[in-house]
Structure 1
């Protein structure tokens, strides 16, 4: 009699009879479990910061841009989020009201503004995610160069596989 737990453990993937197939299923299952844990962490982070997914994405994007000494316009955020300019304005309004971002006039184009994450945002993100990032670094810091290369190459191949998925029309 088949084990019902085994059937649900690898819902999308058949175990197969050979070792290569079994190893492939184990690797993909490990990535699925990691991805589920990461999604749960993101949900907890959004709840802790009282933000939606797009608000948190905007903060991360702005903080990265600031670290690169880049200015970000509202239209750039709209493209990044793949949402309308009206939705982007609503997100910016909410983040500005909560003190997470400020709007500043563009230094050379008087018709434009750019959006900047506040020190409060940087501090809140660091407090919320800093310990987790340290644990993640600890988890991979001792990998050998070959192990690191293997993981990076595997993730690149998986990214390529999922990037090829086209929307259904």
Structure 2
């Protein structure tokens, strides 16, 4: 690309920032992060779930448990938009297959929390990492400053997305 500017964490010229983040590039970044990545990752989830012998909801449940552990059955029901009975059936299937463990919540032993069975999930987690390996190969073409800037950008973006998702879960009324 002609006049390609490297990613940096510090902008030395105000005009440079406006030029890099103008118009189509800004829209492309948002579209790539919030729609295109999601679409292609979702397509990969279907394949990974099928290969593991899981339904898509079972696979997504495991993703949530792996990321948000400990996770209560009620919170999992919210995330998957399932009824309590549907969630219990899904949890039971994953528990019987050896993927999930039910344990007392670490702060309130009266509540049940869901944890991944790390040993059983090891292969599945390895398969989940395949897209990450492809991203790492793409990242190898950039210098450390560029990767650092990208990391900081994604970290801030993820903080906002994560907080928004957790706030929605807290305030969901159904």
For the 8 Å contact 1:63–1:122, the answer to whether it is kept is: no
For the 8 Å contact 1:103–1:116, the answer to whether it is kept is: yes
Q: State the secondary structure of the residue aligned to 1:99.
A: coil
Provide runs of 4+ in structure 1 moved above 4 Å. Answer: 20-36, 141-153
Kindly tell me: are residues 23 and 130 of structure 1, through their superposed partners in 2, closer, same or farther at Cα, counting changes over 3 Å? closer
Shift of 1:49: 1.1
Alignment RMSD (CA, Å): 3.8
Tell me how far apart the structure 2 counterparts of residues 122 and 147 of structure 1 sit (CA, whole Å): 30
**1:17-56 alignment runs, 5 A limit:** 35-56=38-59
Q: Deviations over 1:101-142 (max 9, x none)?
A: 122234643x43222110234302222122331221232356
Structure 1: where are the runs of 5+ without partners? 1-19, 160-169
Q: State the secondary structure of the residue aligned to 2:98.
A: coil
1:62 aligns with 2:62: no
Shift of 1:144: 5.2
Kindly tell me: are residues 90 and 146 of structure 1, through their superposed partners in 2, closer, same or farther at Cα, counting changes over 3 Å? same
Report the TM-score, using the length of structure 2 for normalisation.
0.57
Shift of 1:73: 1.6
Report the TM-score, using the length of structure 1 for normalisation.
0.58
Q: State the secondary structure of the residue aligned to 1:116.
A: strand
Shift of 1:89: 0.3
Answer with 1 or 2: which has the greater Rg: 1
Aligned match of 1:79: 78
Q: Choose between structure 1 and 2 for higher RCO, CA contacts under 8 A separated by at least 6 residues.
A: 2
Structure 2: where are the runs of 5+ without partners? 1-21, 162-174
Shift of 1:83: 1.7
Shift of 1:77: 1.1
Tell me how far apart the structure 2 counterparts of residues 126 and 89 of structure 1 sit (CA, whole Å): 23
**How many residues are matched?**
138
**1:20-169 alignment runs, 5 A limit:** 35-66=38-69, 70=70, 72-106=71-105, 108-109=108-109, 111-140=110-139, 143=146
